[in-house]
A and B are shown apart, each in its own frame.
Chain A
Amino acid sequence: MAAQTLIERLQGLKAQVASLPSPADERELEALRVKYLGKKGTVSLLSQEMASAPKDEKPVAGKLLQEVRGGLETMLEQARVRLTREKIQKEIEQEFFDISLPGSEPEFGARHPIAAVMDEIVDIFTGMGFQVEEGPEVESDYYNFEGLNFPAEHPARDMQDTFHLTNIERLLRTHTSPVQVRAMQKYGPPLSVIAPGKVYRCDADITHSPMFHQIEGFTIDKKITMGDLKGTLQTFIQRLYGPKTAIRLRPSFFPFVEPGAEVDVSCVICGGKGCRVCKHTGWLEILGAGMIHPNVMRASKIDPAQWSGFAFGMGIERIAMLKYGVDDIRLFFENDLRFLRQF
């Protein structure tokens, strides 16, 4: 049998290499590399023979050798990449990672629920065009009562049991309504004001606190109507409690408004079907409101024949109690961190 030429052997090797199966693991990969490309590997031995090959065969043999070496190197590199990726993927698939471990929470504090609800309500009204005004918490009888059409020696004053200072003729305001008088005197008409703040009444049980918070709102312009009051409150309530909430106005009495109204909201707990919170009436009493009384305008030198306005006021604690399901008002002022941390 005649010995094969170098070219023939290279061609054989090329065919053999082309049909090599891809290595299954790193050991096989290394074995292939050593077998063909190692110092004593097939390709290395053949390239040593190149020196003694006939001159006219050299270009063809050289080209073949390059092809074989290049093909092998490519195949081995692809195998290496594939094996590495398989190895990483396998490790990832098999690892245990405990996503149930508690997250590491940064130390945040919180707003007090009353303050948060107050800001929420103020935002709704400022969004509607009311501007914030604040007034002092210690007031004179004039701003708290007289200027708001509470005559001296009138039973209407019994509605608000008042704290008095002992060393000066002052009282702790019983409502945010004095801001009405102050703002009227400060700006004159027209005006649209929302007044949040602390108020005080001599009363303490699970739904009454001697100190609590109110928001007062009012507007004065030419031809403000009772319908405007209703529409404004309807919009406010729907923004606060959602578009399905309804309001109901009932005649009531507050000396500084007339006609005066108690405003009920369809129960936010049961949706109006009746439950324990709404005493099975389907309605919750949330606000007092009405058209600003002419005497209040006169006291602030505004002509009630030319101007009209509406005013409304609400207690924040009641709204917050309904919102968060708090049934004892004292929780808000105890400031127990176990309570405050829930917000």
Chain B
Amino acid sequence: MKLSYLWLNEWVEHSLPPEKLAEGLTGLGLETNIVEDRRGAFKNVVVGKVESVKPHPNADNIRLTTVNAGTETLPIVCGAKNVAEGQTVAVALIGAALPNGMKIELRKIRGETSCGMICSETELGLGAESSGIMVLDDSLKPGTPLAECIEIEDTLFEVDLTPNRGDCLSVLGVAREVAALTGGKLKVPALTPPASGIAGLTVKIENASACPRYTAREISGVKIAPSPLKIRRRLSACGIRPINNVVDVTNYILLETGHPLHAFDRRDISGGTIVIRNAAENEPFTTLDGKTHTPGEGALLIADAARGVALAGIMGGQNSEVKNDTADVILETAYFNPVAVRKTAKKLGIGTESSYRFERGVDPDGVPLASALAAKMMEEIAGGKAGGFIDQYPGMAPRPAITLSTARCNDMLGLDLKDGEMENYLSRLGFACKTAGGALSAKVPSHRHDIKEEIDLIEEICRLHGFTNIPGTLPRLAQHQVGTGGDMYARRRELNRLLSASGFYETINYSFINPLWRTQLEMADARAAAMENRINADLSELRTSLLPGLLTVTAFNLKQGAENVTLYETGTVFRMDGNGVLEEFLSAGVMTCGDEEIFGAKLERGFHRLKGILTKVIKAITGTAPEFARPSAPRKYLYDHRQAEITVGGQVVGIMGQAHPLALEAFDIDCGLVGFEMSVNALVQSGAKGMRVTAIPRFPGIKRDVALLVDERTGAGAVMETILKTDPAKIRSCRLFDLYHGQQVPEGKKSLAFRLFFLDTEKTLTDAAGDAIMNAILARVKETHGAEIRG
């Protein structure tokens, strides 16, 4: 909300300069910043009198004038059509700097000297639009600084209000806070109450819960015209476009008191009656911006005998708006229920200054003041005559006083305030207080809808005392039972650390994906949950897998020219169960391509490299080596035979493999990719039984190498298993160190070279014992796999 410093000063006595005021209000919770500071900005702008006007010899649209600026008469070239002899105007002298950045210098315009500028309202920063120069009151004396004549050197604040402080959405509202801050007096004008009743008009409230108070004031004989400069300037500064004097008054009083008002053209109120009623089911209504809505039964309408004339608290109707020939006006000031206004405004998608304030709650007891101020102003600036007043106030439940335990207040704030100090803070805010036996009873002012219970009073006391005046202390933090909520966080963190140390970069991808990405991977998944995404309508589904997101960022990085892409993510995936309940799982995924360079040697980031890393990582997390087997239901987005289900401790935890060429094509990727995805939940459940150490051998073992010829399609894993099972007590390790196909071996065969390690925990193994083990192995692999030793 924009706030004028000079306007504010009309409502409260204080001596704070704008900077201190902003600081003080911010300290009270009204975040206030200076957005425009015109103090001293019009030093060289004075009142002038136009003495002569002649056409420019060389240009049609420019005039040569002489202007009496007090001490001297200046030649000034002027482009405005409306300039005329005898006018009193604002003159920017040489050396002046205007708000729009213009600097006034001695200039020659088409050969003619100009010693200054006659200003328009726009050039002086007084309004958004103006036609021609500004013409001032003839009573002003030439040479007088302009700032002494009109309200121009103002300071404008932006006040950022939280939704609970609807009461501060006005000059008066902020003035109340300033009064509380400084102890200064609030300057509320005393107005004589109007006569009761309006001849020929009745008001009937049909829905008192949606409209607890409705008032109408009669103003007759207004002349529609533009408002005076001061009004227009204040409205413009606060972001409201001046329209005409009557409409401007309603907006001006809205900004001043926070009360929305509406002016009807009395000619359009038929049947001499105003009814506040619910809209009929299909009743159409055209608001004054020309849009037709169907508010529906929940919406509240202001109606005459025949039809709706305003959408209560939101916007007036086109059928009854103030027009250029309007003479008699009915001024509405009311209190509408915040929830009712919000529901209708939200439903129709309309937000106005009026609905904004009603939604946040205006002051029901402040209605007569706003109405009277507006009536008085219409008399002053629109030549109207204010008449009678109808006030329908079926009422609101009276608000009981709130009791505050002063001890509890101190306990909560960590302070040691006396009862009197608390009372003082609250009464500065307009609460009527009494304290007895440690119980402070406070009557809440009618504008403070946010004050409902004890804690609200504590907050008010805290605000006034100042948050900065509360000393910081350190609590001895209470421990609940040992929580288990952090386990997954710790496991996930360990997993991330291992994956990062293995050469992968962590990514964070959006939880919502384009469903197309999933279907392109043929991940037919009816369990995906759809969402409404107003930022990017394409990303309309919660991910059931991390892979589509990882593929997308892989493709992105390849397009950016990356040669090696090694990415991972651990994050939540979402699936509906059979009963329509959405479940969340923590998933970890990796995607990689390119070559790894280890001491000058290039190593392809292929299936087996990833399998090796995955094995290490899973062992580190669970203490158990994973097993890899062909999945029972192979994934379509992976090569048929280059995929494996990852099993840990008998439980399937995920899938790894090489991406299918068609899947890559769908994501516009033209290099091979391998990756995996596993469930961290399943991983954590499957392993982590805790590892135990094995004793370091006391006797030396024997190393033996052997190369075996087997059929091309015999799995190396099966051969290794056979070897290890031959004598599990003594054969301690079996490592494949060479795999060879080619000319040196017969067609259809391959050579597997193993390094074996034999150990006896009780004694030193002899060569003869080693030979015996070796022979047993050879016999076993020959029998099981038809393997021959390679000569």
- A: residues with CB less than 8 A from B are 104, 107-112, 114-115, 119, 122, 126, 128-134, 136-138, 153-156, 158-159, 163-168, 170, 172, 183, 186-193, 196, 198, 200, 202-204, 210-211, 219-221, 223-228, 230-232, 234-235, 248-253, 258-262, 291, 293-294, 304-305, 308, 332-338, 340-341
Contacts and interface: CB of A to CB of B under 8 A. Distances in A.
B474 A112 contact: no
Nearest to A115: B506
Given A187-B480, A219-B478, A251 B462 contact: yes
A193 B485 CA distance: 10
Contact of A219 (B27, B475, B571, B599): B475
19 contacts: A107-B597, A115-B496, A129-B477, A163-B512, A165-B529, A166-B531, A202-B534, A221-B477, A225-B411, A226-B412, A228-B473, A231-B472, A251-B459, A259-B458, A294-B455, A335-B507, A335-B509, A336-B557, A338-B560
B468 interface: yes
Interface in B403-439: 408, 411-415
Contacts of A183: 483, 485
Interface string B89-107: 0000000000000000000
Nearest to B501: A108
Nearest to B510: A211
Contacts of B285: none
A154 B486 CA distance: 34
Given A138-B542, A183-B485, 20 more contacts: A109-B502, A111-B497, A131-B485, A133-B483, A167-B529, A170-B582, A190-B480, A198-B511, A204-B535, A210-B533, A221-B477, A227-B413, A228-B475, A231-B472, A248-B467, A250-B27, A251-B28, A291-B455, A294-B454, A340-B505
Interface residues of B, number: 95
Nearest to B511: A211
B508 interface: yes
B19 to A, nearest CB: 12
Nearest to A203: B535
Contacts of A186: 485
Nearest to A281: B33
A165 B485 contact: no
Contacts of B496: 111, 115
B468 A252 contact: no
B503 A226 contact: no
B582 A168 contact: yes
Contacts of B455: 258, 291, 293-294, 304
Given A172-B511, A225-B411, A227-B413, A234 B472 contact: yes
Contacts of A228: 414, 473-475
A126 B596 CA distance: 38
B774 interface: no
A334 B565 CA distance: 14
A138 B529 contact: yes
B345 to A, nearest CB: 10
B468 A133 contact: no
Best-surrounded residue of A137, A235, A338 (most CB of chain B within 10 A): A137
B500 interface: yes
Contacts, number: 269
Contacts of B556: 334-336
A110 B500 contact: yes
Interface in B517-535: 529-535
B538 interface: no
A211 B40 CA distance: 47
Contacts of B598: 107
A219 B475 CA distance: 10
Contact of B164 (A130, A156, A224): A156
Nearest to A332: B508
Best-surrounded residue of B359, B408, B479, B536 (most CB of chain A within 10 A): B479
B582 A165 contact: yes
B462 A259 contact: yes
Contacts of B510: 210-211, 333
B499 interface: yes
A155 B400 CA distance: 24
Contacts of A156: 163-164
Contacts of B489: 122, 132, 134, 196
B503 A259 contact: no
Given A333-B509, A335-B508, A224 B481 contact: no
A340 B507 contact: yes
Contact of A112 (B163, B508, B557, B582): B508
Contacts of A111: 496-497, 500, 506
B196 interface: no
Contacts of A249: 467-468, 470
Nearest to B502: A109
B508 A258 contact: no
B349 to A, nearest CB: 13
Contacts of A192: 477-480
Best-surrounded residue of A136, A138, A164 (most CB of chain B within 10 A): A138
Nearest to B572: A137
Given A138-B584, A187-B481, A335-B508, A163 B411 contact: no
A258 B461 CA distance: 12
A171 B645 CA distance: 34
Where chain A touches its partner, the secondary structure class is mixed
A227 B467 contact: no
Contacts of B454: 294
Given A168-B529, A225-B412, A340-B506, A133 B582 contact: no
A250 B455 CA distance: 17
A128 B477 contact: yes
Contact of A308 (B412, B501, B505, B562): B412
A294 B459 CA distance: 13
A62 B646 CA distance: 86
B493 A119 contact: yes
Nearest to B458: A259
A335 B567 contact: yes
A153 B339 contact: yes
B163 A158 contact: yes
B480 A248 contact: no
Given A134-B485, A251-B467, A308-B412, A167 B501 contact: no
A343 to B, nearest CB: 8
A341 B456 CA distance: 50
Interface in B69-106: none
Contact of B483 (A104, A132, A336): A132
A117 to B, nearest CB: 12
A136 B470 contact: no
Interface in B163-195: 163-166
A225 B413 contact: yes
A167 B574 CA distance: 13
A214 B342 CA distance: 30
Contact of A187 (B164, B475, B483): B483
Contacts of A172: 511, 531
B393 to A, nearest CB: 24
B26 interface: yes
Contacts of A107: 503, 566, 596-598
B379 interface: no
Contacts of B578: none
B272 interface: no
Interface in B691-725: none
B478 A221 contact: yes
Interface in B647-696: none
A249 B530 CA distance: 41
9 cross-chain pairs, A with B, having the tightest CB-CB distances, nearest first: A227-B414, A251-B29, A132-B486, A225-B414, A190-B478, A253-B162, A133-B485, A231-B472, A191-B480
A129 B479 contact: yes
A226 B413 contact: yes
A250 B483 contact: no
Contacts of B359: 155
Given A115-B496, A231-B472, A219 B477 contact: yes
Contacts of A304: 455
Nearest to B582: A138
